[in-house]
Structure 1
Amino acid sequence: MTGVVRPAGPGDLAALGRVAYDTAFFGESARRFFPDEALFADLWVRPYLSGGLGFVGLRGGRVVGSILGVTGPAAYRRAWLGAAPTLLSRALAGAYSRLPGCLPYLGRAGLFSLGHAPTSHFPAHLHLNVLEGARGTGLGGRLLDTFLAELGRRGVPGVQLSTTRENVAALALYEKRGFRVWTERERALWRPWLGRNAVHVVMVRRL
């Protein structure tokens, strides 16, 4: 039983933030490298709910997976512009009390970025997350298929994503759905928390 897939909406922020946070460290909790859960959700979930494209996966009425992304760079800019006032107001109100503990990761993320594939051919991008208890049920594949079908319906020519060689199951799923590696490189981003470098991968798929 794969569960139910439906479009994501602003009311899903808390649930999607939890799913993303609980899976961001190679399928485990982001707490090890990013102690502020509220800031994590506002940086990596809220913008997509403000102007992006997304679907949630449910089992037993509970959100256990998500796929979030945008159709292109312009949509991504609009998504961030839509979310920025809320982020700023929450920051000024002191909502991100654990921000200092997140600075090492934020600094390293900028320093060790792998870049992206050409947006002229692959304008869309996506992030797929499934909680541990729902993996192996087919929900991830159904979320991905739904997202790709919607991109095709909108006439988007291609999509890209970033992951690492640590995410073995995710890589297998993407390859099965027709993604190919555009570039990959060993990076030191995760060394403080993983204890070693990780191979970062950018994958692409034409639609």
Structure 2
Amino acid sequence: MSRVRVGGFSISLDGFGAGPGQSLDHPLGRRGDELHQWLFGTRFFQSMIGQPGGSEGVDQAYADRAMRGFGAFILGRNMFGPVRGPWPDEAWTGWWGDDPPYHAPTFVLTHHRRDPIEMAGGTTFIFVTDGIEAALEQARAAAGDLDVKIGGGVETVRQYLCAGAIDEMHLALSPVVLGQGEALLAGIDLTALGFRVTEHQPGEHATHVVLAR
């Protein structure tokens, strides 16, 4: 049976998964890009943006693994873009250009209806207005025998954690403190949810921790 996983989710030493003040100029919130420095230099990321080279090693291995084996993705609306409220038009199609990195059905949580968007490379954004359970049901059906990835952002991961829907979570603990932003695990008892640490390994620019139920 397919699993529901979080992969390659970066958090700061003080527990924030995004900086404050997300905007068009700051997709990850202010200073949020500092959380992902471990990823940007890897061969995986460089290949994703069409560039040669990139680092090997532990960070590369976890980066590659964070996008493998998934047949569907779930994103919060903030992860899809900075537009708020009713969709003003059909112009915004995500942060990633014409060929997003998902290459599979990608379900976007929203309160406002929008028709699906077919992108290059096999990504189709499907907008779900009836909650996290409905999105997960659709994602499981689309994924088949492959896993479903909860891609973020912070609030979306928190909702699925609290619902007991996540089977495995890979966190990349970045050596930075943000002081403020969106706290990933505040108020969530991972032990009560059945999680235990199954892997922990220092990488070149982050420490990688895998928790599973």
Kindly indicate whether structure 1 or structure 2 has the higher relative contact order, using CA contacts under 8 Å at least 6 residues apart: 2
Confirm or deny a common fold (TM above 0.5). Answer: no
| TM-score interval, normalised by the smaller of the two chains | 0.3 to 0.5
So what's the TM-score if we normalise by structure 2?
0.34
So what's the TM-score if we normalise by structure 1?
0.34
